[in-house]
Amino acid sequence: MITKLVEDLLNKNLDIDEYVERTYERIEKIEKKIKAFITIRDKEEVKREVREKLKNPKGKLSGILIAIKDNISTKGIRTTCASRMLEDYVPPYDATVIEKLKQEGAVILGKTNMDEFAMGSTTETSYFGPTRNPWDLERTPGGSSGGSGAALAAGIVDIALGSDTGGSIRAPAAYNAVFGLKPSYGTVSRFGLVAYANSLEQIGPMAKNAEDLALLYSIISGDDPKDATTIHFEPQVPEKVELKDVKIAVLKDIVEASDKPVVSIFNSTLDKLSSEGAIIKEVNLGYAEYALPAYYIIAMSEASSNLARFDGVRYGYSKYYEGNWRETFAKNRGEGFGIEVKRRILLGSFILSAGYYEEFYIKALKIRRLIKDNVDNILKEFDLIASPTMPILPPKIGEVVEDPIKMYAMDLNTVIANLAGVPALSQPAGFYNNLPIGLQLMGRYLSDYYIMAISAKIEKVLNLYDLTAPIS
């Protein structure tokens, strides 16, 4: 637990040098096998900063090392979005969430690998190469926050930040047997997050247990004058929650689309919750078959707009200066972006073009509204919505990345929360042939603390938390 770790560092029960050295020894031993990081800071520099934070301790994370997804701006530390386009980009400012972490005494260890510009579900589209799952090096860690998930599972760090546009925190949380929260839209500032799809994405916490997850969320959440999409809200922290009489809706049409091993572990988890007094009932989401198309139409449309700024002229990959602006633009973007990013930009531009805007984009927005209304209606009757986090087991490296339709289909269970704007959490549910499977909980808008409190109860029932993959 982070609070205990801070206490040990402050009381000198744990030596600062030992804490940092132990982390770098772990990196030295396993980083080459998993490739969780794109940038790792100099050990002596990190050690000095940890000492400084503990000399004048002011926050909940005094001296604690944290891993940051590489699409979140960090002043003076390279931020690449796992793309050739930003290979050498060093931001001149910190994202709001980074400012908040530093105020609480956290020290950035490094920037984690991810799918390029967060576009992918396996952390294989990274320009710097794929991250591997610490539980099985032949498999992916999920994406796009796969580096953060792998760093947690491998025991390098205890807390990390990811971002979630359609499941990018929850997929790696499920596949790495850790905890991840996609917060209610607007509760965490997006200022300093390199944008992919503004109306869907949120920065969120990742940790090895529910308590640390809630602690990290409490630090990074809150409104921000620099981000007009944030809202002012009073944190609704429940004093006490019990599983007894908690009403849980199970999305039948989502569960039916999941593979048998996943459903088997999921049903076993439900049985345990039921034995604790939870009331579980199957419901249909409705419009489930349209969730993925609607999500990808909206996400790709917003991506084509957001990524227009990377023109190879003002900043980014700038190898060519042809005299002809169009050719310069085309060549720099053609080489600067990877295949998946180019695919999404092209599809998004097509969707937004004259004649197709109403045919695709407007229809997708209407479906989004219908799905949101259905989610809200279910949550009027139930306290939570449950489903498997991912419909399949962690795929092998190369298994889905070459087939975009297969890769997009992996997001079926997770995109619903992004379309509806509600909080969603993934936590370990169990293992099938030593491969992690996640349980997803969705709650009412602004019920983030409630679902984390329920998650803490579930982790005790399942006895699955603070898990570290047996990799050495």
Catalytic: 144? yes
Rounded Cα distance, 262 and 119, in Å: 24
Q: What is the amino acid identity at position 125?
A: T
Is the separation of the CB atoms in 352 and 301 below 8 Å?
yes
- Strand 159-164 and strand 65-69: the pairing is parallel
Torsion angle of C-alpha atoms 411, 89, 192, 62, degrees rounded to 10: 100
Torsion angle of C-alpha atoms 147, 151, 153, 154, degrees rounded to 10: 130
Non-local CB neighbours of 248 within 8 Å, separated by 6+ positions: 270, 273, 278, 279, 280, 281, 382, 383, 384, 385, 386
Q: How would you label 373-399 residue by residue, b for 16+ Cβ within 10 Å and e otherwise?
A: ebbeebbeebbbbbbbbbbbbbbebeb
Rounded Cα distance, 434 and 153, in Å: 13
Catalytic: 168? yes
Q: Which of 450, 468, 345 minimizes the C-alpha distance to 85?
A: 345
Half-sphere exposure of 33 (CA within 13 A, CB side): 20
Catalytic residue among 69, 102, 111, 182: 69
Q: How would you label 307-336 residue by residue, b for 16+ Cβ within 10 Å and e otherwise?
A: beebbbeeebbeebeeeeeeebbebbbeeb
- Residue carrying structure tokens 């994202």: 95
Catalytic: 472? no
Catalytic residue among 62, 73, 163, 168: 168
Catalytic residue among 73, 83, 126, 144: 144
Name the residues annotated as catalytic. 69, 144, 168
